[in-house]
Amino acid sequence: MDSVIAVIGTGYVGLTTGACFSRLGHTVVCADVDESKIARLRGGEIPIHEPGLEEIVRDGVQAGRLTFTTDVNEAVANAQFAYLCVPTPQGADGSADLTYLVAAAEQIAPYLPSEAVVVNKSTVPVGSTRTVEQALGRSDLFVVSNPEFLREGSAVHDFLNPDRIVIGSDDQGAAIRVASLYLNVPAPVMVTDPASAETIKYASNAFLAMKLSYVNAIAALCEAVGADADDVMLGMGYDSRIGNKFLRPGPGWGGSCFPKDTKALHFLSAQAGYSFDLLDAVLEINDAQFERVTAKIASVAGGSLEGARIAVWGLTFKANTDDRRDSPAIEIVRRLVAGGAVVRAYDPTVKGDLPEVDGVQVADDAYAACEGATVLAVLTEWDEFKWVDLDKVAATMADRRIVDARNLLDRGALLRRDFVHEGIGR
Ligand SMILES: NC(=O)c1ccc[n+]([C@@H]2O[C@H](COP(=O)([O-])OP(=O)(O)OC[C@H]3O[C@@H](n4cnc5c(N)ncnc54)[C@H](O)[C@@H]3O)[C@@H](O)[C@H]2O)c1
């Protein structure tokens, strides 16, 4: 049965959620307090880089099932469901800051029809279902947890083909109503209590961060003992208990979720009386990785960053997104500049300047970034970097030296052209 859904917060998660629900046949109003974002969406422009999103937004709009508004009252006035997709950033003490969530709940409370279900899709700590209930202050509404597991860069695919749909509710009827929204989505639906649903989301993200820190630690060991981390990971990945995903060494993990969610889980655990020491190590290894990669670049540059001309490929936290929030690439660029390097960077989604770090020049293409550089650092795994003309890169650089923090480039092809090529873990 098709439903009327209001989405509060039209960012990476909210826009994907709204567009995908409209694709599933529901009628969706996406609301946001950001007027320019809504104006762009109304003008047919997609404010984020996300493969496949433009098409389903266009289809939803054309079919009359997807609209955008800055008027939250209007958005929820006829809604059977209100999805909260607002930010839950890291607070000063590492906890999740629920200010946006509570404000959004308070804002919509007077306008929601009776019996509406308010759904937490934002990533929130245990107890937040109750927090939203209190902020709404109405006994004729339901609050359900329905955490989101999509990955930026494949958000549409992940929303429509998730590994699982998790619904946390103490009310069976409300849980079934939320489950029914996903009727045509081929995925197991798991209904549990709100605390378990909330924990599943944090536990999953922190586990993935742990896996990446483990991989980077093994890569450091590989460098020390003369093993090849890529082969080690390949060999590990054949073990079905380990699995072959998330087994690539890199410059450290980041993005808008893993850092804040890992810290929030750590905080939540401490508050609950459990000292989650494993997560301390996960975070420390990641911080050390930024430094290891920076030191590797300095070493390849001849021992010092002072005055070194470094080309950087990739600024987003991973490929296929324009998201630079907590990007490892930005973190490393910051360290390069702090060390005195002259950085010229290219990323397919960045034009003009780079507000995060003063003094970085942004190039129009991968070759332009290399002009006069003595070292090229590959920091994000964009596909296009795999297909560059290496002879042109060689001719453009002042020196043929590459630090490939994603183990992305064809090492054989580089060595044949007399490049010094340093990867991670080999
Ligand atoms: N980005 C991801 O990959 C991802 C994946 C899973 C879960 N999450 C979680 O989803 C939540 C949202 O993340 P995001 O990346 O989409 O954030 P975002 O910053 O891209 O979008 C949030 C939007 O909410 C809007 N907003 C804030 N307060 C509002 C209000 N009162 N009314 C209406 N709009 C309001 C903001 O203007 C912004 O456009 C977070 O809790 C995040 O942890 C994110």
Mutation to probe ligand 1, out of 85, 107, 324 (largest number of atoms < 8 A from CB): 85
Confidence at 131, pLDDT banded by 50, 70, 90:
very high
- Tens digits of residue pLDDT in 329-352: 999 999 999 999 999 999 999 999
Tell me the three state secondary structure of residue 362: strand
The DSSP secondary structure of 120-175, one letter per residue, reads E-S---TTHHHHHHHHHT-TT-EEEE------TTSHHHHHHS-S-EEEE-S-HHHH
Distance of CA 156 to the CA centre of its chain: 13
Inform me whether the pLDDT recorded for 1 exceeds 90: no
User: What distance in Å separates the CA atoms of residue 169 and residue 129, rounded to the nearest whole number?
Assistant: 9
Distance 291 CA to ligand 1 centre (A): 30
Give distance in angstroms: CA of 201 to centre of ligand 1.
15
Query: pLDDT of 146-176, one tens digit each?
Result: 999 999 999 999 999 999 999 999 999 999 9
In degrees, rounded to 5, the angle at the alpha carbon of residue 205 between the alpha carbons of residues 200 and 206 is 100
> Are the C-beta atoms of residues 195 and 209 closer than 8 Å to each other?
no
Residue 143 C-alpha to ligand 1 middle, in angstroms? 18
Report the distance separating Cα 55 and Cα 385, nearest Å.
26
Residue ID of nearest Cα to ligand 1 atom 27: 86
Q: Which atom of ligand 1 is nearest to the CA of 103?
A: 31
Q: Which two tokens stand for residue 119?
A: 């759904």
Span from the CA of 84 to the centroid of ligand 1 (angstroms): 8
Task: Give helix 53-62 / helix 12-23 axis angle, nearest 10°.
Answer: 50
* Residues having CB within 6 Å of any atom of ligand 1: 8-14, 31-34, 37, 72, 85-88, 100, 103-104, 107, 122-123, 148, 150, 152, 256-257
Q: Which residue minimizes the CA distance to atom 1 of ligand 1?
A: 12
Active site residue 85: no
Structure pTM? 0.96
- Would you state the pLDDT for residue 21? 98
- Taking alpha carbons only, the member of 327, 317, 311 closest to residue 381 is 317
